[in-house]
Amino acid sequence: MYERLKVLVVDDQETMRKVTAAQLASIGIEHAELARDGIEALRFLQAKRFDVVVSDWNMPGMSGIDLLRAMRHDAKLASIPFVLITAEAARSRIEEAVALGISDLLVKPYTANRLLQGIKRALRVRARHEAGASAAGQIPAGRILPATTAPEQATVLLVDDTPDNLHLLAEIFKGAYRVRAAHHGQKALDICCSDNPPDLVLLDVMMPGIDGFEVARRMREHPNAEGIPIIFVTALTDESSKLKGMELGAVDFISKPLDPIQLKLRVDNFMRYVELRKQLQADYDNLLETARLRDDMDAMMRHDIKGPLAGAMATLQLLLDDSDTTRRQSEQLRLAEHAMLQVMDMINLSTELLKIETGRFSLQAQPLPIGDMLRRVVEMVRTTFASKQLVVAVDADADVGSEAPQVAGDAMLTYSLLHNLLKNACEAAPIGSRVTASLIAGSPVSISIRNRGAVPAEIRERLFQKHVTYGKPNGSGLGTYSAKLLANAQGGDVTFAVSDEDDTSTFVVLLPESP
């Protein structure tokens, strides 16, 4: 089933790359290429087609999260499923990876079966995105919700070449944990590197063949075993041996003869850490599931709501341009168009802004007749604020013989951008005053919106920040913030100037001219 999949494995440690490739081969994925860091991975991705990327997080040069970010900003690579492997525990950083569109996240240590599960999830997510959203209120086909199963009893692996020592240790932990035993180093390695590794290893140092230090070193080179806590249990008491054990990642060093009560307490303490690590993977799985549900809702909004809404707005415009439409009909159509635009604004703020904020927005620029669009928005806000008796004027006249200016952008985002700024201007303008929108052709195209009422000095420096508002108890503080983001996402910008002498505010929108 997976024999044709092409997987790119990215890790700065050669041993880990080879072990991960072997894990993939064990689950039927034979086509794996290996990259030593994100920089080399990007070169591979530009030259060849891959179905999935499996990458470690912490790498010199370009880390896994930086590679993910670079791929999501590249239109040709943005849709490739990405499985990130990490020992990272900071929730803010994990949320950053989720926001960038990670497909799955594996917490070390992990098994080949868990890696296969991650790849399956990643492929399902891509298939779902390609197929589009499912019906509202339904869970898409193939969705696996986080399971709520009773926790399994933790496993302790006891490693000692002396049978009496193994028996003593087994008696100490009998009933509290699931106990496994190995009487030599190779058997311990086989158990730790299997698809059913233990949660904690009590490891003797002095054993024939492979000693405890070598077992620990080899464990740190295998993804199934590299994160398993190790407690060395040994007759060695010199400081150099303890230091060597700690350098190999041991969490404790216990000297023989053993104190059973003390040993049991130490193991119990480390088992709490083990349970936290297990819970961490469950928490990350739930975090990813929430993000996927949000993405499904986003797709539903785009396909099931925005598409028909855009079609309805286009139909309204045809009716408004029809010479047979009466004045009263035109007024009613304008009200309907305005209501639709408000819905579109809410959709854009809830879906597109999130994509822009997290770097996942991909602009599909089209030529837009910006003068016509500006006039329609002005007419709509004029109707909305009729009770304020404002004069809302538009100056979009082109020179005689010249073509009307067009910008390159997204129609719905540009609608929302202009509407937010004009609405804010009308809200701030005194009753009976004038609001002017002026269009100036050029490269870039400039739209200037001017109103009476200077932006309060208290918020001028923070005006384009999120949730900044003044004098509006129910204001969201998203108007100017979203306007700037929507402009930036289309290769443009929004600036403002204030004249305290004239008591005016002027916002200038710059958008790229359509070629």
The CATH number for 351's domain is 3.30.565.10
Q: What is d(CA 114, CA 262) in angstroms, rounded to the nearest whole number? A: 35
In this prediction, residue 260 carries a pLDDT of 86
307 falls within a domain: no
Chain length of the chain: 515
From the list 231, 312, 213, the residue with the least C-alpha distance to 274 is 231
Q: Which of 76, 98, 131 is the last residue of a domain?
A: 131
25 falls within a domain: yes
From the list 391, 490, 478, 480, the residue with the least C-alpha distance to 445 is 490
What is the residue type of 458?
A: E
The CATH number of the domain holding residue 64 is 3.40.50.2300
Q: CA angle at residue 482 from 481 to 485, to 5 degrees?
A: 90
Q: What is d(CA 77, CA 56) in angstroms, rounded to the nearest whole number? A: 18
DSSP code of residue 386: G
Give the residue numbers spanning the domain of 478.
322-511
Number of domains the chain is built from: 2
In this prediction, residue 276 carries a pLDDT of 67
Pairing mode of beta strands 445-452, 504-511: antiparallel
DSSP code of residue 174: B
Number of CB atoms found within 10 A of residue 39's CB: 16
pTM, full prediction = 0.46
Is the CB of residue 104 less than 8 Å from the CB of residue 288?
yes
Is the CB of residue 478 less than 8 Å from the CB of residue 466?
yes
In this prediction, residue 137 carries a pLDDT of 39
In this prediction, residue 103 carries a pLDDT of 82
Is the CB of residue 347 less than 8 Å from the CB of residue 306?
yes
Question: Which H or E run contains 253?
Answer: strand 252-255
Torsion angles phi and psi, residue 64, rounded to 5? -65, -40
Over the chain (515 residues), what is each successive 10-residue block's mean pLDDT? 84 86 84 92 94 91 90 85 79 74 79 80 65 41 40 84 90 90 94 88 91 90 83 82 78 82 84 71 67 57 64 79 84 78 68 73 88 88 89 76 82 88 93 95 94 92 83 67 92 95 95 92
478 falls within a domain: yes
